[in-house]
A = this chain, B = another copy of it.
Amino acid sequence: MGRTPPHPDPSQFDLQRVLEALVDPVRRSIVTQLDASGEDVACGGFDLPVSKSTATHHFTVLREAGLIRQYYVGTSRMNALRRAELDDVFPGLLDALVRAGRAVPDEART
């Protein structure tokens, strides 16, 4: 509590910034993993192919774009998907991207 980093208000959500955040595959993976977990996840709880400091940068970009909310529980920095607020400003975008991330090309289908 207390040490909450700044977050944009939904009125400040910007599609350009959201897409710049989500064009990075590591950041998209963070969002997809958060969505799949269905609950808030500590920074250390993600499976990411980057160093801890690089991951921290990616979390910051996602937070500043409004995609995640970060807060502390003790010394753990927790991450929450801002799903309701994102769905309100950009209806269907998060779902479509998460689904697209799981999409399998035609030829790989039966």
Interface membership of A101, Cβ < 8 A: yes
Instruction: Give the interface size class of chain A.
Output: 20 to 34
**Is A23 touching B20 in the complex (CB atoms < 8 A)?**
yes
Number of chain copies forming the complex: 2
**Is A11 touching B90 in the complex (CB atoms < 8 A)?**
no
CA distance A20 to B100 in the complex (A): 14
Chain B residues in 8 Å Cβ range of A105: 10-13, 89
New contact pairs (15) apart from A10-B105, A91-B99, A93-B96, CB-CB < 8 Å: A9-B106, A11-B107, A12-B105, A15-B101, A19-B19, A19-B22, A20-B23, A23-B23, A89-B100, A90-B96, A90-B100, A91-B100, A92-B92, A92-B96, A93-B97
